[in-house]
Structure 1
Amino acid sequence: MAQVKKPLYLQIIEYVKNKIESNEWKQGDQLPTEIELAEKFNVSRITTKRAMEELARDGIIYRKKGRGSFVSENSSVLRATHNQSKIVSIIIPYQKNREEMLDYIKGATDFLNSKGFHLSVHCVENENNEKEAEYLKSIPLQDVSGIIYYPSNVNDDYQYLIPLSIQHYPIVFIDKYFESLPISSVVSDNFNGTYKAMNQLIQKDHQFISFFSRKPIERASSLKERYMAYCQSLVENQIELDHHRIVNGYHAMLIPCDDYEERIGVLANMIKEQLDLGVTAIVTENDIDLVQGIGKLIHEGIKFPDEFTILGFDHMQIPEFFNMKVLSVEQNFYGIGFRAAEMVVESIENNEYINKKEVLPVRIVKCGNSDVNYAGIMCKQ
């Protein structure tokens, strides 16, 4: 059977990309005109125009009216991908007392080492959006073949993420996903974990349960899924969904505080307000924040109900020292890092762009109790 030839405009696109990948045409170099390319490939100018428009749309070249087409700075991404170095980078928040961040790194490192790759770690402190954006802009221009990315606030990074996805640069989100971006992700089963843990609370006669979110709920897929599960569990069990028991985006109230003690005081007051409303359980996004606030209240002599329970997601043991019940939705951070690295390498080695979401199961752990209930199922989309 005769081999089917590529459309002529695709042949022109491939020709231009090869010139850039081989470094024959460098950033800022002017390309041949549409007429020159039409003559070279023996095609109409309409065909060359289509090829150049697609290259410009993908950010490989840029065009100046009346002057011609030029190699763009984003073309360096092509060279990094073409060279296929054995380096993958991870961009991840740095937070004290958050060991799960090391588990992400350990999982990614173990898989990459097994495939002869190396991991370079880039930490972002204090939710520094400028630093995060700088990494997304600079890393693909270096000798790095792919990125594992734990986003703190992707809304500020769209201008860098969209070109990477268009150019099929290997990148995988961890912890969160974004439906508006065609980029792969590996996340925990936040919805099912929260839903089953909530039902366990309600079965223990908790009727007044608060939801604490450090960031605005609408800013992250993980928070939205947890909140939806919280709401659904209450509604299905015919419990009032009271907005007074929703503490959403409280970090904004901590920013003006001058020091650590003042921040903990603000947190403690938030928790005290919930206790005054009769709350006996709190679902918290950030275990450390809640524990610090509770610790201050206990130090001040505030009494908590005997049945008071913390439902968290970081599997911390600290609340046990306060003699409190803890229900934790334990996430497989190591597995997320391992699978994300696997997906990046798969994309690199097969020269194939991957766009899918994978959800890893979680487990519900009752601290001080050996019973473990598994929640969630492995699924692929």
Structure 2
Amino acid sequence: MGTPIYEKIIRHLLKKIELGQLKPKERVPSEKELADQFGVSRITSKKALEKLAQYGVVTRIRGRGSYVSEHFDGARIPEFGHCADTEDSFRPGSPPGGATEKVTIGIIASYFSASFGLNILRTVEKTLSARNYHLIVKCTYGKKELEEQFIRSLLDYGVDGLIVSPVNGEHYNEELLKLVYRKFPLVLIDKYLPGIPACSVYTDHKEAAGALTDYLLDQGHEQVVFVSARADNTSSIEERIQGFTGAFLKRRKAIGVNAIFTDMPVLNTSVHEAGDPLEWDTGPLQAFLEQNRSITAIFACEYDNAILLSHALRQLDSYRDCEIVCFDMIYSRPGDYPFTHILQDEREIGRKAAELLLAQLERREVPLLNPVGFKLKIRPSDVPEEKKY
């Protein structure tokens, strides 16, 4: 259960060779025949035959097919790194004869935007390319079903490791949990799964949110609200809420009854393709703002939320001086940004995620929780100001 299908094809063929049902120089079923037999795409069956050829089990002849290698002894079935029947069966083995195995890594995230994610992707790609590894990129646009589908399809394709930014949701992705418990080389980015022993690289969202809230309280704001999409067991949002409330408690300040609003629109495919967050449904947000006109500052969980809030506030004259802060930012030019914000270290997240995945591929132990520093970028009047954490 959870084993990539191309591995099942390899095991099937090795067993036939071991039992003498396929002898040296005999033709092996074609990519199409194997794809039909196992109900998979030809990409998957091709991967299986390529692996067998790489280890010298079969010889592939262009235009003619694949054959059991002439001098291959079926009694000496090789120890394939991906074929051992153990819980560690995913650990890559070293090809015989010092051959170099082509390593492919998959990276899955909701999307990679200029405000957050794009520099992570660039750094991961750069780090892996330096090792001649290949990278496959998939975007889920926040859809859990797509995340599950991509994990399965990438495993069928034969990726050797995965970097995943998990979709927000009330329940953990079952396919992700299978990877963790089977010790498949995996690194989570931007968030971790509480109680699940997966290697994760992320910003300390609680500390960062506390620093951003402290900034607002230092400015004298009393009526401050936190806005985000639903937390739904999402560590990054939950910890930002904890950091927000913790800053008030630390100063022994009361938090308003309506201080937390978690009904912001969630990114979806059609909106993302349109490229305009102002097209989101803002009905609940507008109603909330209308009912809470004493607000003087708003903590937006994400940059897109801040843009949407800025637009909504312009529709309400009484909110003209309301200050907005957020996580992440798109810079029009250095030193010019409209919101005080938390700047996450995307390059360090990407570098560390890639290095930790490579360490797992090399069978080295890695720490599970790997927080990365951040900066508080204060909206400039004349001179930009920042604080490092």
CA RMSD of aligned residues (A): 3.8
For the residue of structure 1 that corresponds to 2:179, the secondary structure is helix
The verdict on how the C-alpha distance between 1:85 and 1:201 changes in structure 2, with shifts beyond 3 A counting, is same
- Which residue number corresponds to residue 78 of structure 1? 89
Name 1:283's counterpart in structure 2: 299
The amino acid that maps onto 1:188 is T
Separation in structure 2 between the aligned mates of residue 156 and residue 26 of structure 1, nearest angstrom: 35
Query: 2:189 aligns to what?
Result: 174
Contact 2:302 2:328 in 1 (8 A): yes
- TM-aligned CA deviation for residue 80 of structure 1: 7.8
Equivalence for 2:111: 94
| Aligned residue runs from structure 1 range 197-212, under 5 A | 197-212=212-227
2:133 paired residue number: 117
Structure 2 residue aligned with 1:331: 344
Asked if 1:193 corresponds to 2:200, the answer is: no
Alignment of 1:1-381 (within 5 A): 25-26=11-12, 78=89, 81-82=92-93, 85-94=102-111, 98-125=114-141, 127-153=142-168, 156-216=171-231, 218-251=232-265, 263-274=281-292, 276=293, 278-298=294-314, 300=315, 302-304=317-319, 306=321, 308-316=322-330, 326-349=339-362, 351-352=363-364, 354-368=366-380, 369-375=383-389
Aligned length: 303
* Structure 1 residue 250, shift from structure 2 partner: 3.5
Amino acid in the other structure paired with 2:12:
K
C-alpha distance in structure 1 between counterparts of 2:328 and 2:215, whole Å? 18
Indicate how the Cα distance of structure 1 residues 24 and 244 shifts in structure 2: closer, same or farther if over 3 A, else same: closer
Q: Distance in 1 between matches of 2:181 and 2:13?
A: 19
Counterpart of 2:140 in 1: which secondary structure?
strand
CA 25–310 in structure 1, closer or farther in 2 if over 3 Å, else same: same
Instruction: Quote the offset at 1:162 in angstroms.
Output: 2.8
Distance (whole Å) between structure 2 residues aligned to residue 171 and residue 151 of structure 1: 12
**CA deviation profile, 1:186-213 (whole Å, cap 9, x unmatched):** 0012122221221121111111110112
Q: Is the 8 A contact 1:330 1:364 kept in 2?
A: yes
Relative to structure 1, is the Cα distance of residues 198 and 260 closer, same or farther in structure 2, using a 3 angstrom cutoff?
A: closer
* Deviation by residue 1:58-107 (Cα, 9 ceiling, x = unmatched): xxxxxxxxxxxxxx9x9899368347642111001126x54422111101
CA distance in 2, matches of 1:266, 1:158: 28
Distance 1:171 1:302, change over 3 A: same
Distance in 1 separating the partners of 2:150 and 2:233: 21
Counterpart secondary structure, 2:89: helix
- Equivalent in the alignment of 2:67: none
Structure 1 residues not aligned, in runs of 5+? 1-16, 31-71, 376-381
SS at the partner of 1:263? coil
Q: 2:263·2:284 contact (CA, 8 Å) conserved in 1?
A: no
Distance 1:178 1:210 in 2: 26
Confirm or deny: 8 A CA contact 1:183 1:355 kept in the other structure: no
Is the Cα contact below 8 Å between 2:331 and 2:337 reproduced in 1?
no
Aligned-partner Cα distance in 2 for 1:231–1:345 = 38
Contact persistence 1:267–1:289 (CA under 8 A): no
The unaligned stretches of length 5 or more in structure 2 are: 17-82, 95-100, 269-276
Give the AA of the match of 1:91.
I
TM-score normalized by structure 1?
Answer: 0.69
What is the CA–CA distance in structure 1 between the aligned matches of 2:170 and 2:86, rounded to whole Å? 24
> Percent identity, aligned pairs only?
19
- Alpha-carbon distance in 2 for matches of 1:239, 1:289: 25
1:3 corresponds to which residue?
A: none
CA contact (8 A) 1:268 1:293 kept: no
Using the alignment, how far apart are the partners of 1:272 and 1:316 within structure 2? 28
Q: Specify whether residues 152 and 262 from structure 1 end up closer, same or farther in structure 2 by C-alpha distance, changes over 3 A only.
A: closer
Q: In 1, Cα distance between the equivalents of 2:133 and 2:317?
A: 53
| Cα-to-partner distance string for 1:271-298 (whole Å, 9 max, x where unaligned) | 3433x1x111111112223322432442
Q: Which has the higher helix share?
A: 1
Output the CA distance in 1 between the equivalents of 2:283 and 2:134.
44
Residue type at the aligned position of 1:113: S
Alignment check: 8 A CA contact 1:146 1:170 kept: yes
**CA–CA separation in structure 1 for the residues paired with 2:189 and 2:8:** 33
Deviations 1:88-132 (A, max 9, x none): 11001126x54422111101011111222121111112x221111
